[in-house]
Amino acid sequence: MRLLLSPAILLSVFLVIAGDLAAAQLTLSGGGLLTGPASPEGERLDYKTQFSGAWEVVSADSGVSAMHLAVTRENKAIMFDATIFGASHARLPANMSCRPDINRKNESVLDCYAHAVEFDLKTYRTRVLKAILGDGSFVVLGGRRSFNYEFVPPEAATSSTLFDLRFLRVTTDGRDENNLYPFIHLSTDGNLFVFANNRSILLQPRTGRVLREFPVLPGGSRNYPASGMSVLLPLVLRHQRSVAARQPAPFPAQVLICGGAPHESFHLVDNANTFLPALKSCGRLTITDANANWVMEDMPIPRTIGDMLLLPNGDVLLINGARTGCSGWDFARDPVLAPLLYKPGASRVTGLGRWKELAPTAIPRMYHSTSAVLPDASILVSGSNTNPRYNFTTLFPTELRVEKFRPPYLDPALAAQRPEILAASVPKEITYTESFTVEFTGAKAQEADVKVTMYAPPFTTHGFSMNQRLLVLRVEEFRPVGNGNAAAAAVKVLAPPSGDVAPPGWYMLFVVCKGLPSDAAWIHIQAKL
């Protein structure tokens, strides 16, 4: 039994989360016409299946309810919860010392509970145990009544550590706020797209200059406590030039924002116990377009306090959440049990041409729930706590069960068609604009069927996966290997051009054949010195 006892103040990529944190660690197994902005991929005919996904409970009790979640290159999921909620569900062993309970004025009151667990998804054994910029530094932005941002590490050339951002002040809906946990995406030009409430700007972080303000996104509020969802859609580098040729900048970048709640939702729950329907609308915005404007469409299911994940094949998964209410203790009702699959490149021949409702879970995942893409292309789903402490007798009890969801591309009937990366062929480290080759087996494919993607695993909390990013690399060469069997091939690809497109760090690298992803290999992009 191993323990991690030291509490810490967690600085998220975009938001300071106040309070001490508990943590849990999980070891992962397996390593018509298009209306709206141009698709990042274009429509393709990929795998065909009637499989709508499958759920599996992989832990009945993780010990910690995951309010915060991140996946590391060691194939572990780090789960955090705040120790201010009191005891976790994992007591310290007899040979470990308790510590003073920081929530009590009386120092003689002890905290005898662990705040980290390691869970192996193969054996199911449990052991008690920020925005990134193009140069690898972080921006910490926002917070309750914190209308500013700062760099981590601090900028040596400036005397001030905090930079005022009036935009955060003017997007506050009074007591309801509706602009916490702002959505922030690093654009391909090195500037930050910042979205709060229903408004957005392009921010030059080094100078604090607001370069432009985008049109208002109609329909309601999208940020905490209204709590919609957002991703930067996959960046397709198909037309990237080699280092010898000057690259026109920037690459097109498109943001998707879905769900949320009416501006007055929090106020009505708090004062009248009235739970308004969540928003169904989504907006897509090409933030690199000089004439950018929102293009709207509806989800088949309204959703607030959900999560939005980029899948390795370029699809988008919407998961967790509720149909009515908003974020906050016990401020939501009507759990949404069914995930949605969104295909950004599909045609909208009918009203829901891009959407597919998937198999539902039996476990409500409400406020403080989390999810993450795993190296085996499945989804880890955890957390949900609508209570100020661990409480197992309320309408929505504190949730300690951990699930894995297998999207349609993991249909068991398609397993033999999934590509398998030969790990020895993948370099552990690459530099920008470097060509490298990935070999794979198991998929009979032509070049047009194959793409190689790189996924930046995010830090997830309160419905936003910070720094999540999927890159579709340029294919320079595709060839069969061995005896010419098309089921074994090598694909030569071009690494991303800069840190503005792909910030330095570790990525999951996938080979995708006809929409079916391989298990990931980890690859590192080194920051330029």
pLDDT digits (tens, 9 = 90+) for 239-276: 777 654 555 568 999 999 999 999 999 999 999 999 99
Single out the residue of 427, 446, 447 nearest to residue 495, CA to CA.
Answer: 427
Is the link from the previous residue into 250 a cis peptide, with omega within 30 of 0? yes
Per-residue confidence (pLDDT) for residue 246, from 0 to 100 = 52
* Percent of all residues in the chain with a pLDDT value above 70, rounded to a whole number: 81
SS (H, E, C) 304-357: ECCEEEECCCCCEEEECCEEEECCCCCCEEEECCCCEEECCCCCCCCCCCCEEE
pLDDT for position 4: 33
pTM: 0.88
At 158 the pLDDT is: 58
pLDDT tens digit sequence for 294-305: 999 999 999 999
pLDDT of residue 78: 82
**Listed range (62-71, 261-270, 353-362, 473-482) with the worst mean pLDDT:** 62-71
Task: Give the model's confidence band at 100: pLDDT under 50 very low, under 70 low, under 90 confident, else very high.
Answer: confident
| pLDDT tens digits, one per residue of 163-221 | 888 889 999 988 889 989 999 999 999 999 999 999 999 999 988 999 999 999 999 99
Cβ-contact 92, 82 below 8 angstroms: no
* Of 438, 465, 431, 434, residue with least CA distance to 453: 438
Domain extent listing, the chain: 10-31+58-128, 416-525
pLDDT of residue 157: 58
- Give the tens place of pLDDT for each residue, 399-420: 999 999 999 999 999 999 999 9
d(Cα 14, Cα 186) in Å, to the nearest integer? 11
Question: Which of 186-190, 235-239, 318-322, 466-470 has the weakest average pLDDT?
Answer: 235-239
Half-sphere exposure of residue 217, counting CA atoms within 13 Å on the CB side?
34
Q: Which residues of 490-516 are buried (b: 16+ CB within 10 A; e: fewer)?
A: bbbbbbbbbbbbbbbbbbbbbbbbbbb
How confident is the model over 118-155, as pLDDT tens digits? 555 555 444 444 466 777 778 888 778 778 888 877 76
The CATH class for the domain spanning 416-525 reads mainly beta
Gap between the Cα atoms of 260 and 240, Å rounded: 35
Tell me the sheet residues that pair with 335: 322
User: What is the residue-averaged pLDDT of the chain?
Assistant: 84
- What per-residue confidence (pLDDT) applies to 44? 56
CA-to-CA distance for 208 and 61, rounded, in angstroms? 45
